[in-house]
Structure 1
Amino acid sequence: MVDHQETPAASVDGFATWEPVLRLLLAEQRRKHPDGPVRVAGRIGRGGWSLALSRRRPPRGRAAQVEDMQEEFDAVERVRGALADAGVDDVSFSATIQPNGKTVLRLMGPSPAVEPGLGTPHPGALILVDGSLAEPWRRLPESAPEALSAPSVDVELLERTLRERLPDAIGATEEEIAAAEVRLGVVLPDELKALYRVTRARWEDLGDDYESAGRAWKAVGCELFDLDGLYVADASSRPCRWESAAKEAVDTPPDSTVQGLVGSPGWIAFGDNGGGDRLAVDLTPGPRGYKGQVIMLSHEENTGAELVADSLTDLVLGRLATDPPTRSDEDRPSAVARVNGVSWKSVQAAAHPGLEVLSIGWWDGEPFSLAPVIGLPRLRTLTAYPGTLADPLEIAELTGLEFLALGPADWRRLLDAGAVPRGLSAAAIKTLRDHDPLPIVAMANEILALWDRPQIVQTVIEGDLAPLA
């Protein structure tokens, strides 16, 4: 235990560092529970925080400002400064505060085997296999050796048009283009080389002139990256939390122009649409696409991309493509099924040989049996809202699972029976927001121990929140 009087105020494990946050949370709880001990919990990270505090509404017509929550901001910044000094990105905490102010504060984590909870003090996904990725992030593109370039490709027209629009632009040298190819490990398509021969798109070449930048944007059709900013938009360029990634699926219908991947070694990102969506040249097109087509990767989606133009020539000339909608095909049911009060109403109805992800959400009827999905060859993810499974031990027969998310009671059944599937790469404990994080952390450590993974370490700090004079 750490005595706050012996710990520097700026340290993460110093009670004085946490005291302002705890006082705010205590005041909030005392309005609801004026008597007896109270428990408070939260999460603070260098990128944000989650605390159960009521905030003053800003005046009508004005957005919230820092001054509207200045006391909270100052209290959190004290902790975030200590985290930065300690090189810690994120920590969750739970504290029990007695009526006389005596306080026991527990800091939990971080652990290299645990993702931070999302807006909650509870642990996020438990990474049971070091370096593991969800299946969609391991998926490589289908080869397309017969894919052809679009008939609209015209390198000479492309270069001539750009030179007319950008007569003062400074182009990249052949050596600079070759160096980019070496860095990326891919040969750039002729259209992309022609574009950079006209303009290397460096900001310093524009002389800090925003009007010139606007003309360059209009000339190309996007905010063009310079050669150093050019990158391969493979799966690693689209990072995702394990629990979210495990519930995705790659789907490329036979009439698609673009493969429904997370990323591809054949997607060369060269620009931005100004809203965070990346434009890329696609060298691994879908069954009905063209090699070298221009696609857009949405920053709001984890998989797939949208066709923008059949070629870079078309993009520059403003001849944008209309990606035809994929045919509805009842013989190709979705690889992701959600069973809940508004989607599928039974596991039996959702089951089919191509099912990869089964998510059972809130349900007020009888719990579900998993018998209909036992033996399905591709089922790799199961998430179940607490209380929705008739017999959690049926999970032991789902031998292909790589990700499992269950409520604490269901995990307890599996742990006590020694029936936790050992083929898992990651797992999660589904909890309600106000669930005490301490038993959840203990259960998480129990699961991590089965794979001999690093534990969530707890630091206990004692202090006193006696009323200030």
Structure 2
Amino acid sequence: MPSTHDVATWEPLLRLLLQDNAERLAAPGGYVAGHIGRGSWSVPVTPPAFQPGRAAQVSDMQTEWDAVGRVRSVLEESDVDEVSFMLETPAPGKALLHLFDRGPAVESGVATRFGALVLVEGAVPEPWRRLPDPSPDAVPAPTADAALLERTLRERLPEAIGATEQELAATEARLGVTLPEELKALYRVTRARWEDLGGDYSAATRMAKAVGCELLALDEVYVADTASRPAPWEFAAMDAVETRPDAAVQGLVGSPGWIVFGDTGGGDRIAVDLTPGPAGYLGQIIVMNHEENCGAGLVADSVTDMVLDRRPDERRGAGREAQPPAVAWVNRSGIPSVEAAAHSGLEALSIGVWEGEPLSLEPLVGLPRLRTLTAYPGTLADPLEIARLEGLEFLELAPEEWRVLLDAGAVPRGLSAAAIEVHGERNPLPIVALANEILGLWDRPLITRTVIEADLGPVA
């Protein structure tokens, strides 16, 4: 089987990189870097001159497509998700290719080659550890009417094939929860299997219109717990959840009481909520935005209301009093100072682009809930102040600030994850070495590097 470490796998791409980056690679310390995954890639090659007036086509970049395609096919055959690389040319026609395997302790990066360093195996940010508050006094909405719901749907979907009691019981056993009566009434009318519709898209459209959403097949219904809504540490650490005293829906990433049974048609999931907020109803309908990591919105007070297109009382939650934000962004166009951001409920602070004097972290010392700090390069007056911030579980700093902490032995050992903020084009070798130094403090698997030497001869 071809390997990602074979010269033949990379040779077409290496020739293309040498051809398009000759001047850059010939400069002292010159290099180029990129990454290739099964579904996407980023390689430093000259973009083609597209013909005005027509859409771009694969043929316009066929050379790049073929060269990258050879690497991608080997990744798929080897069951490897992605590979990052750096290319140097120590002499004309000579290629020194560095391949990086981020390993199990490093998340995949979005805008960078490497994402967060997971310092504690299996660790997730605090909102992903949050369980719903008990709601023993919650009751179904007065509008919940399983009998009316079933009659209405049978009138609208007279030819639908419903689930048997055995199928409903099997679903409850699979999920480990008891389905609410309204949801069972819905699936007694239609189990929503595609094969039951005979591949008829118009029938699926009629079903969605009758129910009020795109209904999942009974065997696709699932519980939207926190594990069903994963997010990279770099983004999730800047999320916070809260449940107001007048909230209909609890502020959560997920819940063992959120039973997903539908979709809006745009990727947002529809669920029955069995763990409502203080002002909510047991069995209310909520929607989870696929573009957000946490939280849910109220759709209807019951499945019956959703099917009958009755909206919830919008006055619930209207009396909310403004609270200082649990997540704060200090930068030249946001909150004007660390002092202004600091309060007892602050959970996450991001210090961004800053044009004034470097900032002190003194106002953050002693804050009981602060768990996340990220800082743009050069914004901290004294990085060693970080050592006084007890309770941090995620820290993102530029390489220079990490170096200060490492040299002083002041890296907070309570961290669960960390990230190195890299701006602009930087040689990945020292970044990888720094990441491995941080990982080593927790005895975590390191980023590995494999070097391939290739003699490509004259490059046109």
By the TM > 0.5 criterion, same fold?
yes
Instruction: Tell me, yes or no, if the aligned pair for 1:335 and 1:356 is still in contact at 8 Å.
Output: yes
Deviation (angstroms), 1:326:
5.0
Q: 2:155 aligns with which of 144, 152, 164?
A: 164
Name the CA distance, whole Å, in 1 between partners of 2:313 and 2:55. Answer: 38
Whole-angstrom CA distance in 2 between matches of 1:351 and 1:457: 40
Inter-partner Cα distance in structure 2 for 1:22 and 1:322? 62
For residue 206 of structure 2, the aligned residue among 204, 209, 215 is 215
Match of 1:43 among 35, 41, 46: 35
The yes-or-no answer on 1:279 pairing with 2:270 is yes
Distance across 1 between alignment mates of 2:314 and 2:289:
15
Letter in 1 for 2:115: G
Q: Aligned-pair RMSD on alpha carbons?
A: 1.8
Q: 1:269–1:388: structure 2 CA closer, same or farther, 3 Å change rule?
A: same
Partner of 1:4: none
**Secondary structure of the residue that 1:115 maps to in structure 2?**
strand
Residue 79 of structure 2 corresponds to which residue in structure 1? 87
> How far apart are the structure 2 equivalents of 1:194 and 1:337?
45
Cα distance in 2, alignment partners of residues 53 and 326 from structure 1: 54
- The aligned residue for residue 53 of structure 1 is 45
CA apart distance, 1:23:
2.9
Asked whether the 8 Å contact 1:25–1:53 carries over to 2, the reply is: yes
Name which of 57, 60, 73 aligns with 1:65: 57
Letter in 1 for 2:380: L
Tell me what 2:245 maps to.
254
Would you say 1:117 and 2:109 are equivalent positions?
A: yes
Q: CA deviation at 1:14?
A: 1.4
How far apart are residue 59 of structure 1 and its match?
4.6
1:228 is paired with a residue whose SS is helix
Q: 2:25·2:88 contact (CA, 8 Å) conserved in 1?
A: no
Letter of the 1:28 counterpart: D
- Mapped to 1, the partners of 2:150 and 2:159 lie a distance apart of 14
Cα deviation, 1:263-301, whole Å, max 9, x if unaligned, reads: 111100001111111100011112211111111111101
How far the C-alpha of 1:35 sits from its partner, in A, is 5.7
Q: What SS is found at the alignment partner of 1:104?
A: strand
1:176 maps to 2:186: no
What whole-Å deviation, never above 9, does each CA across 1:175-207 have from its counterpart, x for those lacking one?
110110011010000000000111111111111
From 382, 388, 393, the counterpart of 1:397: 388
Rounded to whole Å, the distance in 2 between the matches of 1:62 and 1:277 is 34
2:87 alignment partner AA: A
Distance 1:349 1:62 in 2: 52
Following the alignment from structure 2 to structure 1, what is the Cα–Cα distance between the partners of residues 201 and 86?
50
1:182-201 pair list within 5 angstroms: 182-201=173-192
- Residue pair 1:97, 1:103 contacting (<8 A) in 2 also: yes
Report the Cα distance in structure 2 between the residues aligned to 1:264 and 1:313, rounded to whole angstroms.
22
| Distance in structure 1 (CA, Å) of the matches to 2:403 and 2:38 | 33
Tell me the SS of whatever aligns to 2:435. helix
Query: For 1:260-271, what aligned pairs fall within 5 Å after superposition?
Result: 260-271=251-262
- Rate the CA distance shift 1:35–1:136 in 2: closer, same or farther, 3 A: closer
Give the drift of 1:52: 3.0
Residues 166/224 of structure 1: CA separation in 2 closer, same or farther (3 Å cut):
same
Q: Which runs of 5+ in 1 are unaligned?
A: 1-7
CA distance in 2, matches of 1:61, 1:352: 56
Amino acid at match of 1:84: E
How much does 1:433 deviate?
3.5
Contact persistence 1:43–1:119 (CA under 8 A): no
For the 8 Å contact 1:308–1:322, the answer to whether it is kept is: no
Alpha-carbon separation, structure 2, partners of 1:155 and 1:466: 76
CA contact (8 A) 2:132 2:275 kept: yes
Per-residue deviation, residues 292-338 of structure 1 (Å, max 9, x unmatched): 111111110111111111110011111133645655533x2110001
Letter in 1 for 2:299: V
The 1:37–1:394 alpha-carbon spacing in structure 2 relative to 1, beyond 3 Å, is: closer
**Equivalent pair of 1:37/1:99 in contact (CA under 8 Å):** no
Q: 1:61 to 1:352 in 2, by over 3 A?
A: farther
Distance 1:59 1:295, change over 3 A: farther
Measure the CA separation in 1 of the matches of 2:27 and 2:458.
14
Pairwise mapping of residues 335-414 of structure 1 onto structure 2 (< 5 A)?
335-414=326-405
Tell me the distance in 1 between the aligned counterparts of 2:251 and 2:145: 28
Match of residue 74 from structure 1: 66
Once the 2 structures are TM-superposed, how far is the Cα of residue 33 of structure 1 from its aligned partner? 7.3
Query: Hey, what does 1:21 align to over in structure 2?
Result: 13
Q: Quick one: distance in 2 between partners of 1:84 and 1:435?
A: 29
Instruction: For 1:240, give the aligned amino acid.
Output: A
Name 1:245's counterpart in structure 2.
236
Structure 1-normalised TM-score? 0.94
